[in-house]
Amino acid sequence: MASIRRTLSPPYHDRHYQNGETPVPAPFPAQKPFAASAKPSSAPPGLGVHRFLAFVLLGKQPRRSWRRSLYRCLLCFLFGFLFGMTPFGHVNELQAHDFSLDIKPSNVNVNARLENAIDHPVRHDEFLHKSSNLEVGAEARANSDGSSDLVPRKQLIVVTPTYSRAAQAYFLNRLGQVLRLVPPPLLWIVVETNVVSMETADILRKSGVMYRHLVCTKNSTDIKDRGVHQRNTALEHIEHHKLDGIVYFADDDNIYSLELFHSLRQIRRFGTWPIAMLAQSKNKATLEGPVCNGSQVIGWHTNEKSKRLRRFHVDMSGFAINSTILWDPKRWRRLTAHPIRQLDTVKEGFQETTFIEQVVEDESQMEGIPFGCSRIINWHLHLGAHNLIYPKGWLFDKNLEVDLTVT
């Protein structure tokens, strides 16, 4: 007869527990270790893979601290760095010319460009824009060591005194069109007497040139003295605002070439050049200005016997100065800090030389432009009609008399 045996349950201690606690079963007896022939584990029990690596590398089980994280990060960084630097497969060796920073121009079909230029001519303003960009590129390559540092252009400060007369609009528009062709930066300072006229302001707004419209409040009936006070007003403005650039007195009735304004940017302190002048009698032309050996001034051109007493034989539009001379005397080692101004107490024809004597000591501090002073780059013509009155607003109230009747 088969017998059925029930597995014995772990013994419980038959005792009462306070507060209704549940009796806890007794643990099983500890198992006996394996036979002595079994090899113990080489790592402490309960270690993972990363703990095993740390145990092998460090020789002991790491403590639970910040050093553990630091060692792990350093180990991963070193492993990743070595893995990234290891070359896999064949890598082509790069030649030195493969890393050239020079921009190689693409192949250009010259015939196609010429045909396109004929079919689509370039406008004049586009040509000027491209020409100014080419000039900037040439200045950027000015250094002989091949560096591409951009050399900024000097600012030109053109001072123009003006007054109301019959040909004022013609003169201002003509000068404004010339200044518009000059590459920037350029500042046109126009000075009027007593009040700002709406006609002049309208011409300046339409000129397309950066300008400042000033007013000279000092009254003067003489035309020559009026120009002196107007120029002094501009000099005070430049000195007060410490404008940096080349100051040039450009009367509105003179004729200027673009080469003149390009040459002005070569001046360091004081520059001068010869001028072709039409005599007051309108029957002959004279030459006035420096005689140069290269850029060194060695003499003067003059045909006026009454002007031989002057120290420097220069016309008002025949020289230009660095504006820092006006407001930075220490830079130029000036002996006095007295403001540099034009004088209205001297005779006519001596205002230029008395002004220049405040700027330079002798011809050794002058620069002749262009090189050799061999070309005429501006003209002084006495063509103004002083007795004619310009129409209000440049508009006629009524039509002029008819000379020829339309039939």
Quickly list DSSP for 24-89. PPPPPPPPPP--TTSPPPSS-TT--HHHHHHHHHHSSPPPSSHHHHHHHHHHHHHHHHHHHHS--S
CA distance 340 to 338: 6
Contact between residue 377 and residue 370 where contact means Cβ atoms under 8 Å apart: yes
Distances (CA, A) of 258 to 140, 183, 254, 255, 370: 21, 10, 13, 10, 12
Maximum distance among all Cα pairs of the chain, rounded to whole angstroms = 164
Strand partners, 300: 290
CA distance 286 to 277: 5
Q: Which of 199, 288, 352, 367 is catalytic?
A: 352
* In the block, residue with structure tokens 């006070």: 229
CA distance 173 to 162: 12
3 state SS of 296: strand
Sheet holding 211-216, edge to edge: 211-216, 186-193, 156-161, 246-249, 319-322, 270-272, 367-368
CA distance 230 to 253: 16
Contact between residue 379 and residue 260 where contact means Cβ atoms under 8 Å apart: no
Is 348 among the catalytic positions? no
Burial class (CB within 10 angstroms; exposed 0-12, middle 13-18, buried 19+) of 238: buried
Torsional sign, CA 156, 330, 365, 335: positive
Cis peptide before 40 (omega within 30 of 0): no
CA distance 317 to 355: 13
Could you list the active site residues?
352
